[in-house]
Homo-oligomer: A and B are copies of this chain.
Amino acid sequence: MTVACAIEQFLPGHPICYLGDIARTPYGTKSSRTITSYSIENTQFLINQGAEIVVIACNSASSVASDQLRKKFNIPIIEVISPAVQQALKETRSGRIGIIGTRATIRSKVYEKQILCKEPDFKVFSKACPLLVPLVEEGWLNKRETKMILRRYLHDLKNKQIDTLVLGCTHYPLLKHLIQPRIGKKIKLIDSSVSTAQYLKSYLESKKLLPVEKDNATKIQKSTFFVTDLTQSVQQVAEKIFQRPLKLERI
């Protein structure tokens, strides 16, 4: 949802077809095989809905399933890792980069691989933070326990003299206000949601797929938001992120 919201802000004229696989989340604790199989189903659903470009708006799925999705589907598949890596490489001065993410993302080592492939002398330090997703989903965004758990997770990274930290999970931007003071005010945080939306915008520009300003008013189609499960807390979190009422449709 944080990625969809960032895309909406960067590309206001573009209709989004969103699918949140709420029934089967969290993905970050699952095996690569299961994440890949769910990602294939979800992509097929979006294509059936008429999607022409698919954004894998989840770091865990991007980490382990993007190669398979590109092999299987003949449309552009955008993931959230490469844009965040690009942004991190642009921001870092010292070449010492931290990554936080789910167990699946960290286990895949995808951030290390992509960074070291471009800058073999850089140092990458990773830390899986599996409890942050449930804490965010519970809406515990300012609780003392969340701060303590964050301090515990960030402890090792604090001694590594990083100057850039990638928030390698689309839930983590909601904890930015707690992460920044705990990791250090001078450390640049990379929000993969924003990087991905920026990347998508320049991709569409390069392919001349951006809607012409004038046409927006007539061409604008309503975005649709599908979920595989719908509870009160999902509705609340969605409206908190988008800052407006949102019609979620259960499939």
How distant is A33 from chain B, measured CB to nearest CB, in Å?
A: 8
Residue from A34, A140, A144 whose CB has the most chain B CB atoms within 10 Å: A34
Separation of A22 and B33 alpha carbons in the complex (Å): 13
Residue from A22, A140, A149 whose CB has the most chain B CB atoms within 10 Å: A149
> Cβ of B23 and Cβ of A30 under 8 Å apart?
yes
Tallying the copies of this chain within the complex gives: 2
How many A residues face the partner with a CB closer than 8 A? 27
A residues near B (Cβ < 8 Å) are: 22-24, 29-31, 33-34, 103, 130-131, 133-135, 137-138, 140, 144-145, 148-149, 152, 228-231, 233
Q: What are 21 residue pairs bridging A and B, where the CB atoms are less than 8 Å apart in the complex?
A: A23-B30, A23-B34, A29-B137, A29-B231, A29-B233, A30-B229, A30-B231, A31-B230, A31-B231, A33-B229, A34-B228, A34-B229, A103-B231, A103-B233, A130-B138, A131-B138, A131-B140, A145-B145, A145-B148, A145-B149, A148-B148
